[in-house]
């Protein structure tokens, strides 16, 4: 594939203290001004927590498990990424959303305080997916190696402290998971865990279905669980990001659908790194008790 010279590893620029890709920071006012419709659904995550998986489950629920309907176009077209701005020909999330009728399934990685206030004013539903810090970090490391629009991750041992200090794109994982956790009751946010989805996808699909006030048959739930297995999504060209140019996502470095497991951190952290990470984790998470699991 021909290299697109306009793609580069964009620097991060802070927006109200949160490091974001420079193109997002430059367009911040238009993102903040976005007005959703009350029927729109927000899927919010820290990067690499299970966004694509949840987008696929939700699209299938909206389409009563119709696999063909959900292969109409790739994930990022079916479910636009609210704040994304890339060089042309890649269209911004805002431009895509303008052309779609509600209810739209809108993806964001913005921390709670940066979500456009229109979502809460219009009482939009929102699903938050959280993944345990160590697996989330490992997944983000591999993603930063292959995503040519984000800063170079550098060596693994230096990446861990960057994550701990909140210097990666979209900021601190700790503040992100805490921000939505504190607001979940007030804003009626469905707060899910990647580990729960892995452990019992059927239970979680049904939980999402009830939250969305949808009702599909048991058979359709089984079909959705099957269609959204790691293996099936990895092979689905409309869910595995294979349509994105290799100049942007170089999947020869690391596939988007990389491993899809809980506990892969054990293959990356040395015992010393794990100890140092855990000690800091206790400090950063002391004011909340979010039931994360690093193994299932
Ligand atoms: P790994 O890098 O650990 O494999 P996001 O969609 O938020 O970018 O998250 C991507 C992560 O979710 C990747 O994790 C990817 O493999 C995993 N993932 C995507 N679809 C999945 C599925 N159906 N089942 C399990 N994990 C999935």
Give per-residue pLDDT as tens, 134-174: 999 999 999 999 999 999 999 999 999 999 999 999 999 99
Domain spans, the chain: 12-284
In this structure, how many other beta carbons lie within 10 angstroms of the beta carbon of residue 5?
A: 8
Closest C-alpha residue for ligand 1 atom 20? 53
Residue 209 has a pLDDT of 98
User: Which candidate, 175, 34, 188, 13, places its Cα nearest to that of 97?
Assistant: 34
Of 98 and 4, which is predicted with more confidence? 98
Q: What is the pLDDT of residues 190-210, one digit of tens each?
A: 999 999 999 999 999 999 999
State in Å: Cα 52 to ligand 1 middle. Answer: 7
| pLDDT mean across residues, the chain | 96
Structure tokens given for 55: 């987008």
**Mutation probe of ligand 1 site: the residue of 127, 224, 230 with most atoms within 8 A of C-beta:** 230
Ligand 1 pocket: which residues have CB below 6 Å?
45, 47-53, 139, 142, 228-230, 233, 257-260, 264
12-284 falls under which CATH superfamily? P-loop containing nucleotide triphosphate hydrolases (3.40.50.300)
Q: Determine the residue of 60, 81, 139 to mutate for testing ligand 1's pocket, defined as the one with the most ligand atoms within 8 A of the Cβ atom.
A: 139
| Signed CA dihedral, 148, 136, 252, 268: sign only | positive
Question: What pLDDT is stored for residue 5 in this prediction?
Answer: 53
Instruction: Report the residue count for the chain.
Output: 296
pLDDT tens-place string over residues 169-181? 999 999 999 999 9
User: What is the SS3 assignment for 146-185?
Assistant: HECCCCCCCCHHHHHHHHHCCCCCCCCHHHHHHHHHHHCC
Q: Which residues contact 280 (CB under 8 A, 6 or more apart)?
A: 164
* pLDDT value of position 1: 42
Residues that are catalytic? 109
* DSSP conformational letter for 79: S
Confidence of residue 6 (pLDDT cuts 50, 70, 90): confident
Question: For residues 181 and 192, what is the distance between their CA atoms, to the nearest angstrom?
Answer: 10
């Amino acid at each position: 594939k021909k290299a697109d010279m306009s793609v580069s590893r964009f620097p991060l620029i802070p927006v109200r203290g949160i490091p974001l890709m420079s193109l997002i920071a430059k367009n911040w006012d238009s993102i903040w001004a976005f007005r959703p419709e009350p029927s729109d659904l927000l899927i919010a995550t820290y990067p690499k927590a299970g966004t694509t998986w949840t987008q696929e489950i939700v699209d299938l629920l909206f389409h009563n498990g119709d696999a063909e309907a959900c292969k109409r176009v790739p994930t990022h077209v079916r479910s636009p990424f609210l704040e994304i701005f890339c060089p042309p020909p890649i269209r911004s999330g805002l431009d895509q959303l303008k052309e779609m009728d509600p209810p739209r399934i809108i993806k964001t990685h913005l921390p709670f305080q940066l979500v456009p206030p229109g979502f809460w004013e219009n009482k939009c539903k929102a699903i938050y997916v959280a993944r345990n810090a160590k697996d989330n970090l490992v997944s983000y490391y591999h993603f930063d190696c292959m995503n040519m629009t984000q800063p170079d991750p550098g060596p693994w041992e230096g990446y861990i402290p960057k994550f701990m200090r909140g210097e990666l794109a979209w900021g601190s994982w700790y503040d992100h998971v805490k921000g939505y956790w504190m607001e979940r009751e007030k804003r009626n946010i469905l707060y899910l865990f990647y580990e729960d989805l892995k452990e019992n996808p059927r239970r979680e699909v049904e939980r999402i279905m009830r939250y969305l006030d949808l009702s599909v048959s048991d058979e359709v739930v089984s079909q959705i669980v099957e269609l959204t297995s790691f293996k099936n999504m990895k092979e689905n060209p409309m869910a595995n990001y294979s349509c994105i140019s290799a100049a942007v996502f170089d999947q020869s470095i690391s596939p988007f659908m990389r491993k899809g497991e809980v506990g892969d951190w054990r293959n990356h952290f040395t015992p010393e790194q794990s100890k140092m990470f855990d000690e800091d984790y206790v400090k950063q998470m002391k004011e909340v008790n979010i039931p994360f699991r690093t193994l299932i």
